Structure 1
Amino acid sequence: MTTKTLKDLFIHSLSDIYSAEKQMTKSLPKMARASTNPGLRSAFEMHLEETRGQIERIDRVVEATGIKLKRIKCVAMEGLNEEGQEQIDEIEKGPLLDTALIAAAQKVEHYEIAAYGSLIALAKQLGETESVKLLADTLEEEKATDQKLSLIAEEKLAAESLRQ
């Protein structure tokens, strides 16, 4: 199907982020297992639960709008996940890998923040007020996760510098 209207673009974008969130339900447990920092592991586990809720929220958007999602794969998220997996495979477990995992996770969060921001703008233009609310709730969770990851990185770096 060709994208010709704002609604087509909304459906495509929603389908894409749905695929991205589904991919994250597979990569977050791997990131949690690879982490040696308890706070980071906990953040990944908590975000996995949030991600499941975000998928449910997308299902509610689909229900509210009466649209049907496309079966597509989010290649951007696939690439980000591959990058994170390469780091897990190449870096020995410990503080350096934890730092790499934080960076990888923040790349994901920034992608999701951009995607949800765009979806909210499209939903507003389409007059989908219930969708705007649902998508805004998810956007706030993504921003909070990004902030949490930044705090973990700052605390981790501060603790590491004290040991040197």
Structure 2
Amino acid sequence: MAARNTNGNMPNAHLHELFVDELKDILGAERQLLKGLKKLATTAQNQKLQQAFETHYEQTEGHIDRLKSVFSTLGMTPRGKKCKAMEGLLKEAEEIADEFEDSPEVLDAALIAAAQKVEHYEIASYGCLVTYARLMEHTEAEELLATTLAEEKDTDVLLTTIAMKEANTGQVA
């Protein structure tokens, strides 16, 4: 099946402008997140949490590359826009880190909470994008976006695991 419906009768074409706008938003968000993940990794006390943030940094670079590929399948130049939601989530993460910097037994739990807010935003965004791509029969874009969605969900599960086994119990391993 073609990466893009090219017969001039794209199903659900009314979603195209929204789809492109959301792609620009999440591209901007992922770029903003790179900076935030560096800070989270250096602030985290727990080694597993630091590694999770570092791994997600690498994944985020891949997410950006995939988004560029999605734009390419649509015949468009990849352009992001400033994501106000991500800006707010990252600002909140910084505030939490500052508030609990003197309480290492709480700091990692707070960082995980902030990071999971980011993950849930990304999961919601990619979930919508996958649906839009499917409805418009942008098969290749759908597959690329679904791969990223799965990685975002995996990161959320990993953060929950670290929280439940270590960070929320006050361990600073």
Normalising by structure 2, we get a TM-score of 0.86
Tell me how far apart the structure 1 counterparts of residues 167 and 54 of structure 2 sit (CA, whole Å): 21
Q: CA offsets per residue over residues 39-85 of structure 1, 9 Å max, x none?
A: 00000000000000000000000111112445421101110000001
| Residues 1-164 of structure 1 mapped to structure 2, 5 A cutoff | 5-93=14-102, 94-156=104-166, 159-160=169-170
* Pair 130,72 (structure 1): closer, same or farther in 2 beyond 3 Å: same
Q: Which has the higher contact order (CA 8 A, sep 6+)?
A: 2
Contact 1:11 1:70 in 2 (8 A): no
Q: Which runs of 5+ in 2 are unaligned?
A: 1-12
Q: CA offsets per residue over residues 104-147 of structure 1, 9 Å max, x none?
A: 00000001000000001111111100000000000000000000
Tell me how far apart the structure 2 counterparts of residues 152 and 7 of structure 1 sit (CA, whole Å): 39
Which structure carries more helix by proportion? 1
- Which of 62-71 and 75-84 deviates more? 62-71
Tell me how far apart the structure 1 counterparts of residues 112 and 168 of structure 2 sit (CA, whole Å): 15
Look up the equivalent residue of 1:10 and give its one-letter code: F
Tell me how far apart the structure 1 counterparts of residues 107 and 66 of structure 2 sit (CA, whole Å): 32
Q: How many residues align?
A: 158
- Which of 90-99 and 74-83 deviates more? 90-99
* Pair 54,70 (structure 1): closer, same or farther in 2 beyond 3 Å: closer
Q: Secondary structure at the match of 2:16?
A: helix
Tell me how far apart the structure 2 counterparts of residues 42 and 124 of structure 1 sit (CA, whole Å): 34
Identity %: 47
* Pair 117,158 (structure 1): closer, same or farther in 2 beyond 3 Å: closer
Look up the equivalent residue of 1:21 and give its one-letter code: E
Q: Which runs of 5+ in 1 are unaligned?
A: none
Look up the equivalent residue of 2:133 and give its one-letter code: A
TM-superposed CA distance for 1:157, in Å, is 5.2
* Pair 58,157 (structure 1): closer, same or farther in 2 beyond 3 Å: closer
